[in-house]
Amino acid sequence: MNCYRSECTGVGRWRIVLLLFAPMDYKDAPPARGETSLIVCDAHKEVTTVDDILTDESWAKIERSFAAIGRVMPVRERTRLEFVPC
């Protein structure tokens, strides 16, 4: 599978996972893990940021999902990426 970046022909080796952290009031709580279908190559793993992945629309969808299950809302600014080998 190729890297998800449209201009890239590199081999995708890493799946992107969102780590969604709760507010600091819950600082000891483990992050929720948001599996994505996005795969990146070695080069793009080093430069891909949360802002590359999360649009306002996708963040709104995450918030709706958390509200629907009654979970504490994650903080967008605390969201991190994890790269899991494919």
Task: Give me the tens of pLDDT residue by residue for the chain, a chain 86 residues long.
Answer: 899 998 999 999 999 999 999 998 887 889 999 999 999 999 999 999 999 999 999 999 999 999 999 999 999 999 999 999 99
Say how many CA atoms lie within 13 Å of 39 toward its Cβ: 10
- pLDDT of amino acid 24: 84
The residue behind tokens 């996708």 is 58
- pLDDT of amino acid 67: 96
